[in-house]
Amino acid sequence: MLPWIIPVARRLFGQYDGFAFFIFIFYYRDTPNRAQILNHERIHFWQQVELLFLGHWVLYLLFYAWYRIIGLTHDCAYRAIPFEREAYRYEHDLSYLEGRKIFAWLYPK
């Protein structure tokens, strides 16, 4: 069943506890908040599916680049990306994906 969940021994990119890429979710196996991290990454997985993976990655990079160009720091630019806003807003709601509307990242509450 997709996505495939893969535990890893170290934090990803030095600081992240999870990362969704294509049909895989990688997560730091020693993270204290596994359910929350996996929910966050599952939200990203479905965002990627909606945009046929490549579209998501291109938009993600464009959003990030735009926010950096207008002067936001790395952390602020990362948190401002609409995909991240949706994932952070609902990562604690473990039933969110059951009723999530398609392209929910476009119309934040």
Tens-place pLDDT, residues 29-51: 999 999 999 999 999 999 999 99
C-alpha span between 81 and 59 (Å, rounded): 9
* The pLDDT value given to residue 77: 98
pTM attached to this predicted model: 0.94
Q: Is 39 exposed, middle or buried (0-12, 13-18, 19+ CB in 10 A)?
A: buried
Total number of domains in the chain: 1
| Polymer length in residues for the chain | 109
C-alpha span between 17 and 28 (Å, rounded): 5
Domain limits at 44? 4-106
Tens-place pLDDT, residues 48-100: 999 999 999 999 999 999 999 999 999 999 999 999 999 999 999 999 999 99
Confidence tier at 1 by pLDDT (50, 70, 90): confident
Nearest to 26 by CA among 40, 73, 52: 40
